[in-house]
Amino acid sequence: MDEIEAGFNKMLEKVSQYEKKEADLSDQVRKADAELLSRMAELTIPVIVKIGLNMLDKGKQDTKGELYDSVFYPKKMIVLGKAEAAAFRPDDISKKVTDQFCVLSEEGKFYEMMYSSDGFIVDSYLNPVTAQEALSIYGFEVIFMLYRAIHDYVQGHEKLVESLEKTIEFVFPDK
């Protein structure tokens, strides 16, 4: 029984060592979170061109809430987070913000996309932010969402390649 207890105590020591190391490593990551996010954004640039969305710049809204005469930003973006809307837009304090998102552009730049609506015109403002500001406003969700976007993109490619391989096997069973 002493051998079992000694082995169990060794495992508990290991757990304690790993917990301390985990805390130390987590602190290091937290101290470099903006660097991590900036580097992830830089590496993601080629993918944003493929998976990014054309975000609404401005448009008109009919009585049913449908948009028409819409104008979109020329660069694609991915949405990384949503925050409680600011009271007003930095470019025009008379415009109340109805929705506010953190986006990453295909240039690798972070923005707060702020939408306003007066009931007829919906328009937006891209407020440039640093990686540190994005983390301060939107939290670690932006890192997670950026990772998740790439993860989902990779999984989609895996499924597509598998399907194409199966199709080729079916069409050309001899090869």
pTM recorded for the entire structure: 0.76
The domain locations on the chain are 32-171
Task: Please state the three-class secondary structure of the chain as a single string.
Answer: CHHHHHHHHHHHHHHHHHHHHHHHHHHHHHHCHHHHHHHHHHHHHHHHHHHCECCEEEEEECCCCCEEEEEECCCCEEEEEEECCCCCECCECCCCCCEEEEEEECCCCEEEEEEEECCCEEEEEEEEECHHHHHHHHCCHHHHHHHHHHHHHHHHHHHHHHHHHHHHHHHCCCC
Residue 175 is predicted with a pLDDT of 63
Residue 26 pLDDT: 77
Task: Give pLDDT tens digits along the chain (175 positions).
Answer: 688 888 889 999 999 999 888 888 878 877 889 999 999 999 999 999 999 999 999 999 888 888 999 999 999 999 999 999 889 899 989 999 999 999 999 999 999 999 998 888 999 999 999 999 999 999 989 999 999 999 988 888 888 889 888 888 888 887 6
pLDDT, position 123: 92
Please report the pLDDT score of residue 32 as a whole number. 84
